[in-house]
Amino acid sequence: MDFGVFILAVLVIAFVLSRFVTERIRVKNHSMEHTLDDGDSVLIEKLSYRFGEPERYDIIVFRQKGTGEELVKRIIGLPSETVQIKNGRFYINDEEIDDIEGLDPPEDAGIAASPVKLSVGEYFVVGDNRKESIDSRYEEVGTVTSTRIAGRVYLRLLPISKLRFFFRK
């Protein structure tokens, strides 16, 4: 095989993988602490959401409306559900749901102090650092539409000492 053809094939494969299959993202704030830290490098996979829907507790990367900044948060509310936070607990359709073990409860319910009805293709997301996360509880983030979701975090790559896979619950 000609070396030029080989290099072209490698570049095409790398482009396809990075565009449609996986992408490396750097965590840029403290909103997911206890799970991910500021500066961590994570890999997201993009295929599962092309063939299926995001699930509750998935850690996702999405684009912030207005700025396009990439944010990392955890899905709590799914399309067509009603989300509310009462006394530091999450309620979906008036039923309390289990939270991720070991995380602080949300002290500030924000807009979810009242029921938030999600439309089709809309998700309610929160950071694992519930005290410092700016997430769907606040107007500047709001609910996240499926078109803004870049993918699901499946691996913390760096720092290598904290290498970890994230499997669905």
* Helix locations, 85-150, DSSP H: none
- Asked whether the beta carbons of 20 and 46 are under 8 A apart, the reply is yes
Tokens 């490396």 locate to: 24
Q: Is the peptide bond before 159 cis (omega within 30 degrees of 0)?
A: yes
CA–CA distances in Å: residue 53 to residues 12, 85, 89, 152: 28, 24, 25, 11
In the annotation, is 41 catalytic? Answer: no
Catalytic residue among 18, 41, 48, 73: 73
The contacts of residue 13 (CB under 8 Å, 6+ apart) are none
Is 169 assigned a catalytic role?
A: no
Say which residues have a Cβ less than 8 Å from residue 139's Cβ, sequence separation at least 6: 111
Which member of 31, 46, 133, 136 is catalytic? 31
Which active-site residues does the annotation give?
A: 31, 73
